[in-house]
Amino acid sequence: MRVPIPIRGPLAFPFRVCGVTQSKMNPNICTICERSFRFVKKQRHISATATILFADIRGYTALSERMDPVVLSEIVSAFHGQCAQAIWDNDGIVNKQMGDGLMAIFNFPIKIEHHASAAVTAAIGIQRHCAVALTDLASRHDKLAIDGLGVGVGVHTGQVEIGEFSTFRSEFTAIGGAVNMTARLESQAAAGEILVSAETAAAAPDLVAGTTTRTLTLKGIEHPVLAHVLNTAH
């Protein structure tokens, strides 16, 4: 599903005429991947192994009750911008943006041999770049207190179903237990933390070496879950 012809510069013109442009999910793929999944794959959905990443702004809800909406929009824009760049730098796609959170997929449609490592590397990049962006915003807005404000990230590797699951939107996404697990991990991550599942850690041992572990009871997950904790706040 990756188009080998660049979609930038003069060569992009015939594609744009036909309505094919750079995908918002990742500028290295095109909207054929984004909007024509069933025609390219010849089916509505497929099974695939992928690494999923969820990220969310911690402290945002409390901040939104007392902060100017313009400043809030700057925070959200900075968050999404920094997250996207870290994800794209590691060949992932920003599959969904949900207010002050997002979901990314690694290993589809861009195939990545070491997709677990790519996702963890992206998560580290997200934490580092967002911390710098928040500090910069605080320096430009005297009343912006960033104590308690940060990003929580969850990363998990597993089998997912990828395809078009809506009758009125032609965009693919991933569903399944692995997606739910990632979302639950992210919900337990404090500001500055990355919670990495045992499955992802096993596939990216160098990146989690020396980290602490935490046993979690997650909503909707029957058994306790062991997570590796990467803390970039220190």
Given a cut of 60, whether residue 52 has pLDDT beyond it is yes
Same-domain status, 133 and 41: yes
Same-domain status, 5 and 58: no
Give me the domain span that covers residue 192: 37-231
The pTM assigned to this predicted structure is: 0.86
Question: Rounded to the nearest 10 degrees, what angle do helices 115-140 and 69-89 cross at?
Answer: 150
Greater pLDDT, 192 or 43 = 192
Dist CA 171 CA 31 (whole Å): 9
Average pLDDT over every residue of 119-137: 93
Same-domain status, 150 and 223: yes
Q: What is the pLDDT, as a whole number, of residue 40?
A: 57
The domain that holds 52 is classified in CATH as 3.30.70.1230
Same-domain status, 199 and 211: yes
CB distance 157 to 200 below 8 Å: yes
Same-domain status, 28 and 96: no
Name the domain count of the chain.
Answer: 2
Same-domain status, 22 and 107: no
What would the DSSP string read from start to end of 136-164?
A: HHHHH-TT---TT-EEEEEEEEEEEEEE-
Same-domain status, 162 and 78: yes
pLDDT (tens digit per residue) in 193-231: 999 999 999 999 999 999 999 999 998 888 999 999 998
Structure tokens belonging to residue 76: 């959200």
What would the DSSP string read from start to end of 91-137?
A: T-EEEEEETTEEEEEESSSS--TTHHHHHHHHHHHHHHHHHHHHHHH
User: Rg of the chain's alpha carbons, rounded to an integer?
Assistant: 18
Same-domain status, 18 and 75: no
Dist CA 215 CA 221 (whole Å): 12
Of the pLDDT bands very low, low, confident and very high (cuts 50, 70, 90), residue 140 is confident
Same-domain status, 54 and 27: no
Same-domain status, 14 and 66: no
Dist CA 178 CA 218 (whole Å): 13
